[in-house]
């Protein structure tokens, strides 16, 4: 949620900024509803004040044993007026916050302006793309030779799920373990185990609700309560600080978790239907940082470095792009995507997304810290994949294949695979 005071004081700037990310701000609606809110609120508070003082008078009169019927009569009218105004005020305020919840975050000044991914800017390209003297297979063809079985997963659950067996399943586990170990042992994150089902308050806090409910899998807890499968562990990790006032000494908070993620991919029919690129269920190791406002952009660079370290260790070629204003997610002020090289597609594909949400989520979460002046100030929240496990495995299969369809296990993963160096194909 963006700061309503910004809308009151710098409306035009906000409108212009939002336009760069394709959001059309309803100026007239806002001004209308805001002035209505102001009028009703002032009037409501006046009436409440009068009611309170008259009610107090009644109390005093009665305690003295005097007759209060005249005052009672007077306050009866005021009281019903007050009720009416209170409900009017509620209505207007609900309208206003509902609108505010729909508004995406403002892009940071360093974000390239553009309407879609075509305006993304490549920051750097790392690693050497191998050349292959044989026709490369994609990960589905390789996978089928070493334990990837979409026929079975389709039978069990339908499309966009996968089932792995044997060394491949172990490789998948090894990747997650390795990433988690890197973040906890070398990057200073605290490992977390989190719920995979979360309530709607949590999703409202991180911005998936109310606007993107269609992308979530929902379960029913009871007649009047639903729980949602997490689309990313950003949700539980970031919500750890909801409704908290954190002491300055405890910042930054750096959390990581390896969890499955569940997405209905409602708006992506026909995209990446083959293979493991776009699934309803996938594993991801997530990094989350909670920082002081002045530290958040330093933290963003740091997190990018942490994700890059993983790819460097795995010896996978990648590039880093800064997302343009129109390509960023709802809550982000600035986002870096890391894209890994996939030989079968002859292009880089997203494997990580690292965002600074500034105070956007913190405002929804009521996540604050006590600054050195003793004032409560909203924290900044950042999240990033470090990395998507399934897509990392895809990249390893494709980049490390040989002409016999064997997959060479990256050196850093071998200790997680009992020293195994190659997964041999059944070809």
Q: Which is nearer to RNA, 344 or 359 (CB)?
A: 359
Size, binding site for RNA by CB under 7 A: 31
Smallest distance from the beta carbon of 312 to RNA, in angstroms?
38
Closest CA to 106 of 202, 5, 235, 15: 15
Closest CA to 323 of 301, 275, 355: 355
HSE, CB side, 13 Å, CA atoms: give it for residue 222.
2
Residue 210 engages RNA in binding (rule: CB under 7 A): no
Q: Per-residue x/- mask for RNA, residues 329 to 368, rule CB under 7 A?
A: ---------------------------------------x
Active-site residue, from 50, 57, 350, 377 = 350
Residue 376 engages RNA in binding (rule: CB under 7 A): yes
364 is catalytic: no
84 within 8 A of 78, measured Cβ to Cβ: no
Residue 51 engages RNA in binding (rule: CB under 7 A): yes
Residue 42 engages RNA in binding (rule: CB under 7 A): yes
Exposed, middle or buried by CB within 10 Å (0-12, 13-18, 19+), for 225? exposed
Among 16, 27, 52, 404, binds RNA (CB under 7 A): 52
Residue 125 engages RNA in binding (rule: CB under 7 A): no
Which residues make beta-bridge pairs with 34?
none
Residue 67 engages RNA in binding (rule: CB under 7 A): no
Q: Which is nearer to RNA, 94 or 214 (CB)?
A: 94
Q: Which is nearer to RNA, 49 or 159 (CB)?
A: 49
Q: How far apart are CA 358 and CA 64, in angstroms?
A: 58
Smallest distance from the beta carbon of 383 to RNA, in angstroms?
24
Q: How far apart are CA 288 and CA 384, in angstroms?
A: 6
Residue 6 engages RNA in binding (rule: CB under 7 A): no
Smallest distance from the beta carbon of 226 to RNA, in angstroms?
11
Q: Which residue has the tokens 């589905």?
A: 140
Interface with RNA (CB under 7 A):
4, 38, 41-42, 44-46, 48-49, 51-56, 58-60, 62-63, 72, 75-76, 79, 82, 90, 222, 224-225, 368, 376
Catalytic residue IDs? 263, 278, 350, 353, 391
């Amino acid at each position: 949620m963006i700061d309503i005071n910004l809308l009151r004081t710098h409306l035009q700037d906000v409108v212009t900024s939002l336009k760069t990310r394709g959001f059309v701000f309803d100026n007239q609606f806002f001004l209308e509803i805001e002035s209505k809110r102001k009028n009703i609120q002032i009037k409501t508070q006046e009436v409440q004040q009068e009611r309170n003082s008259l009610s107090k008078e009644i109390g005093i009169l009665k305690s003295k044993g005097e007759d209060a019927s005249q005052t009672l009569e007077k306050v009866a009218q005021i009281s019903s007026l007050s009720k009416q105004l209170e409900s009017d005020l509620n209505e207007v305020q609900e309208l206003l916050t509902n609108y505010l919840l729909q508004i995406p975050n403002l892009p940071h000044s360093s974000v390239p302006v553009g309407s879609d991914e075509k305006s993304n800017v490549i920051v750097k390209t790392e690693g050497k793309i191998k050349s292959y003297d044989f026709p490369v297979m994609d990960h589905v063809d390789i996978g089928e030779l070493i334990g990837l079985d979409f026929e079975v997963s389709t039978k069990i659950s339908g499309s966009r799920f996968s089932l792995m067996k044997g060394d491949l399943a172990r490789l998948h586990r090894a990747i997650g373990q390795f990433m988690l170990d890197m973040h906890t042992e070398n990057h200073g994150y605290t490992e977390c185990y989190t719920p995979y089902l979360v309530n709607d308050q949590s999703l409202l806090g991180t911005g998936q609700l109310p606007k993107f409910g269609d992308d979530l899998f929902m379960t029913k807890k009871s007649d009047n309560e639903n729980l949602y499968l997490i689309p990313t562990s950003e949700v539980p990790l970031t919500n750890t600080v909801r409704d908290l006032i954190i002491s300055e000494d405890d910042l930054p908070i750096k959390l990581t978790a390896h969890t499955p993620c569940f997405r209905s991919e409602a708006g992506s029919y026909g995209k990446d239907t083959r293979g493991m690129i776009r699934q309803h269920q996938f594993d991801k190791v997530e990094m989350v940082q909670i920082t002081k406002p002045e530290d958040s952009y330093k933290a963003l660079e740091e997190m990018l470095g942490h994700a890059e370290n993983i790819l460097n260790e795995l010896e996978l070629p990648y590039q880093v792009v800064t997302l343009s204003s129109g390509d960023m997610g709802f809550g982000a002020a600035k986002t870096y995507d890391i894209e890994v090289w996939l030989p079968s597609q002859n292009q880089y594909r997203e494997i990580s997304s690292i965002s600074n949400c500034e105070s956007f989520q913190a405002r929804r979460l009521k996540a604050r810290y006590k600054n050195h002046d003793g004032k409560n100030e909203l924290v900044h929240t950042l999240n990033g994949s470090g990395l998507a496990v399934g897509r990392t495995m895809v990249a390893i299969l494709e980049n490390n294949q040989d002409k016999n369809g064997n997959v060479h296990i990256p050196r850093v993963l071998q200790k997680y695979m009992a020293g195994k160096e190659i997964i041999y194909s059944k070809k």
